[in-house]
A and B are shown apart, each in its own frame.
Chain A
Amino acid sequence: MATVEDRALSKTSLNDDIGEETRLRLYRVQVEIREAEQRAFDLFLQNLVKGTSHLSLGQEAVAAGFAVAMKPGDLSFCTYRGHAHTLARGVPIEKVLGELMQRDNGLMRGKGGSMHLTSTDHGVMGSYAIIGAHLPIACGAAWRAQYKGAKDVSVCFFGDGTTNIGAFHEALNFAAVWKLPVIFVCENNLYMEYTPIGDVTAVQHPAADRASAYGLPRIVVDGNDADEVYRAAAAAYEKARAGNGPSLIECMTYRHSGHSRADPAKYRPDGELEKWKERDPIKIYRERLKQFGIADNVIAGIDADVKQQVDDATEKCKAAPMPPLDILTTDVYADGGWAWRN
């Protein structure tokens, strides 16, 4: 099997099936994620981001490729490493940073935090912090679409470590048997948390090598190339919308930072990070845009625009109040309160 690097080198022709407008969108989304995540890290160093956070630095192409290929109404189900997928659906940077900074302007006013970003108005149906939990939940949303005759697709993002938990296998079988319009996206960043995924998994490709067990095709894509991700996503959406059932897609990628803010990632072999940084998705995509004749000043304009957006969002969040204390007990039950007795 060709490695990611082999396949990247073998790219010989410039495909134009994606088009300039979509490519500029793919680039902008990746830069937004990069800048917002980098800012989240900086704000953590300033003690303005509290709690934990799991960054997607280096994995931006997966989020961008799948989100840009979606249609309005499609649903995203994310993990605790969900900032990227939330931003990619168009959730304002301020709402995400506000939640990380536990301010009243945050997506959930500080009640959920970094690991539970949710914006149902944008189709972000939640970020789930129990490994594997959201695969069956995405099946249920897809079941609703199937039952109602709706054409939306549910997309469920998770890491390589998730492929070794029971809910992964229950969901894959369930989705295949019920032929549900759901797409399972494994972001294989090579480490479950601190341990290399290969050390704890019976097969080389933790997701794709299990696909055959559920009657699904084996799909591995270069997760650092937004074009490749976009194409794989578009094909899977088309299959789901046509009523042809689920897909399981393994995206090979790499996280530039540790598992969480607490992890300096010292377990990585020397040179590994540097090697992957040569294949930085944003670097790859900037070169791609140039190959397609996009002018440097257009690219620089996007970079500057996004930087300004992140700066503005940061200032708004710094100025935002903390949440009022009375929301402590709201929304436990559907009546808006927490009463468990009369």
Chain B
Amino acid sequence: MAELTYRDAVARGIAQEMTRDPDVVFLGEDVAKAGGVFKATVGLFEQFGPLRVRDTPISEQAILGAAMGAAMTGLKPIAEIMFSDFFAVCFDYIANEFAKSRYMSNGQVKCPLVVRTGNGAGSRFGAQHSQSVENWCMMIPGLKVVAPSSPRDVIGLMAAAVRDPDPVIFFEHKSLYATKGEVPDGEIVDTLGTAKIVRSGKDATILALALMVPRALAAADKLKNEHGIDCEVVDVRSLVPLDTQTILGSVARTHRLFTVEENPRLCGWGAEIVSIVADEAFYELDGPPVRITTPHIPLPAADILEDIALPTADRIADRVRKSLQS
């Protein structure tokens, strides 16, 4: 067991898989010699060499297209798109190519690749380098979508993503890179499509993803300490496949549902989950499901503005308390 940053866990997760399988290759902008702009891939170039860890031009379409062509002919590429906002310039590959080639070809074409990307706010980068775009990917049939919240999950879900036969979009949260967590020694392999109950409770279920997980946990502590409200916090981890059984099971115990989403309000992942719960567990609910999200706005750069845009522990706690007490 060792304490590791989320940032170092990225490199360890990739290294674990590259060591295991010589068909795993890694490409992206500034990822090799420079070790990544977030320093999340430091050491991989030195360890695995220039044939397996490759710097690319600033050509997001070429990066994702090349990853796909390599994947469909036998490699297991990991491609980095530096900021998830840049998905918008290469979205054809995500939406039309990776996701549909297997179906359109009646199963002939395979696409076992991972796209890892820096997602989320907190760095004061403004509207084009701060977005949470996991919902852009969740809506596309054929993709798998994960977003780890801890160093251990980074390694385990990276391994699961690389070993998965389908295209996986792997959202790393920029504001989590410096956070630390305990990580066991040796190989770690997790399972896609599994949510994790990170805090047990009986009064309400709070679903969260990535950066919102530590904030939901802080809110739960506050609610317990200040108001005696005992919340269960579920780290959704994987939007596709979605572990609805863990979510429905938690709602059946607590009878209240809150989602904490960093994405802007419309069509966030919480809306889909609320609709599933309404459809399949309506009579378990003692009150309306509540979505706590970033407002439906582009993100501002100024720290005082960005800070009030994202759900905070205080806002989550306040919203849960008012809802339960109303």
- Chain A interface (Cβ within 8 Å of chain B)? 75, 107-109, 111-112, 116, 118-120, 125-126, 128, 130, 132-145, 147-148, 154, 166-167, 170-171, 173-174, 177-178, 327, 330-334, 336, 338-342
CA distance A128 to B97 in the complex (A): 8
Distance (whole angstroms) from the CB of A92 to the closest CB of chain B: 15
Name B's interface SS.
mixed
Stretch in B66-74, B180-188, B288-296 touching the partner: B66-74
CA distance A336 to B101 in the complex (A): 13
B242 cross-chain contacts in A, Cβ below 8 A: 340-342
Beta-carbon nearest neighbor of B112 in chain A? A334
Q: Are A342 and B245 in contact (CB under 8 A)?
A: yes
Asked, given contacts A120-B108, A170-B57, whether A111 binds B103 with beta carbons under 8 Å apart, the answer is yes
Additional A-B contacts beyond A126-B109, A133-B65 (5; CB < 8 A): A108-B106, A141-B70, A141-B73, A333-B142, A342-B193
Q: Are A139 and B62 in contact (CB under 8 A)?
A: yes
Complex A-B: 7 CB contacts under 8 Å:
A126-B101, A141-B70, A144-B75, A171-B61, A331-B107, A334-B102, A334-B166
Distance (whole angstroms) from the CB of A175 to the closest CB of chain B: 9
A177 cross-chain contacts in B, Cβ below 8 A: 57
Which interface class (under 10, 10 to 19, 20 to 34, 35 or more) fits B? Answer: 35 or more
Q: Are A136 and B166 in contact (CB under 8 A)?
A: no
B228 cross-chain contacts in A, Cβ below 8 A: none
CA distance A167 to B287 in the complex (A): 50
> Is the C-beta of B320 less than 8 angstroms from some C-beta in chain A?
no
Q: Are B244 and A171 in contact (CB under 8 A)?
A: no
> Is the C-beta of B165 less than 8 angstroms from some C-beta in chain A?
yes
B75 cross-chain contacts in A, Cβ below 8 A: 143-144, 147
> Is the C-beta of B152 less than 8 angstroms from some C-beta in chain A?
no
A128 cross-chain contacts in B, Cβ below 8 A: 97
> Is the C-beta of B286 less than 8 angstroms from some C-beta in chain A?
no
Distance (whole angstroms) from the CB of A220 to the closest CB of chain B: 25
> Is the C-beta of B141 less than 8 angstroms from some C-beta in chain A?
yes
Q: Are B241 and A154 in contact (CB under 8 A)?
A: no
Q: Are A330 and B65 in contact (CB under 8 A)?
A: no
Distance (whole angstroms) from the CB of A24 to the closest CB of chain B: 31
3 A-B pairs closest in CB distance? A136-B65, A140-B69, A334-B165
Q: Are A118 and B62 in contact (CB under 8 A)?
A: no
Q: Are A139 and B61 in contact (CB under 8 A)?
A: no
Distance (whole angstroms) from the CB of B88 to the closest CB of chain A: 13
Q: Which residues in window 285-309 of B have CB below 8 A to A?
A: none
Distance (whole angstroms) from the CB of A328 to the closest CB of chain B: 10
> Is the C-beta of B96 less than 8 angstroms from some C-beta in chain A?
yes
CA distance A334 to B245 in the complex (A): 22
Q: Are A136 and B64 in contact (CB under 8 A)?
A: yes
CA distance A107 to B56 in the complex (A): 36
Beta-carbon nearest neighbor of B243 in chain A? A342
B109 cross-chain contacts in A, Cβ below 8 A: 118, 120, 125-126
- Among A116, A136, A143, A336, chain B packs the most CB atoms within 10 A around the CB of A136
Q: Are A139 and B69 in contact (CB under 8 A)?
A: yes
B108 cross-chain contacts in A, Cβ below 8 A: 108, 118-120
A166 cross-chain contacts in B, Cβ below 8 A: 61
Q: Which residues in window 33-76 of B have CB below 8 A to A?
A: 51-52, 54, 56-57, 59, 61-75
> Is the C-beta of B258 less than 8 angstroms from some C-beta in chain A?
no
Q: Are A339 and B72 in contact (CB under 8 A)?
A: no
CA distance A237 to B97 in the complex (A): 27
Q: Contact mask B93-118 → A, CB, 8 Å, 1/0? A: 10011000111111111101000000
Asked, given contacts A140-B67, A332-B102, whether A167 binds B51 with beta carbons under 8 Å apart, the answer is no
CA distance A174 to B92 in the complex (A): 18
Beta-carbon nearest neighbor of B102 in chain A? A331
Distance (whole angstroms) from the CB of B94 to the closest CB of chain A: 11
Asked, given contacts A170-B59, A174-B57, whether A140 binds B241 with beta carbons under 8 Å apart, the answer is no
Distance (whole angstroms) from the CB of B303 to the closest CB of chain A: 35
Q: Contact mask B125-147 → A, CB, 8 Å, 1/0? A: 00000000000000001101000
Beta-carbon nearest neighbor of A128 in chain B? B97
- Among B104, B109, B241, chain A packs the most CB atoms within 10 A around the CB of B104
Distance (whole angstroms) from the CB of A51 to the closest CB of chain B: 13
A339 cross-chain contacts in B, Cβ below 8 A: 241
Q: Are A139 and B65 in contact (CB under 8 A)?
A: yes
Beta-carbon nearest neighbor of B58 in chain A? A170
> Is the C-beta of B310 less than 8 angstroms from some C-beta in chain A?
no
Contact of A174 among B66, B74, B276 (CB under 8 A): B66
Distance (whole angstroms) from the CB of B140 to the closest CB of chain A: 10
Q: Are A148 and B103 in contact (CB under 8 A)?
A: no
A332 cross-chain contacts in B, Cβ below 8 A: 102-103, 141-142
Beta-carbon nearest neighbor of A169 in chain B? B59
> Is the C-beta of B240 less than 8 angstroms from some C-beta in chain A?
yes
Contact of A111 among B52, B59, B63, B104 (CB under 8 A): B104
CA distance A220 to B77 in the complex (A): 35
Q: Are A140 and B65 in contact (CB under 8 A)?
A: yes
CA distance A118 to B100 in the complex (A): 13
Distance (whole angstroms) from the CB of A245 to the closest CB of chain B: 15
Distance (whole angstroms) from the CB of B161 to the closest CB of chain A: 13
Beta-carbon nearest neighbor of A180 in chain B? B66
Q: Are B62 and A340 in contact (CB under 8 A)?
A: no
CA distance A339 to B141 in the complex (A): 10
CA distance A128 to B103 in the complex (A): 13
CA distance A145 to B244 in the complex (A): 41
Asked, given contacts A130-B96, A133-B93, A341-B241, whether A116 binds B66 with beta carbons under 8 Å apart, the answer is no
> Is the C-beta of B31 less than 8 angstroms from some C-beta in chain A?
no
Beta-carbon nearest neighbor of B276 in chain A? A341
A143 cross-chain contacts in B, Cβ below 8 A: 66, 69-70, 75
Distance (whole angstroms) from the CB of B241 to the closest CB of chain A: 6
B103 cross-chain contacts in A, Cβ below 8 A: 111, 331-332
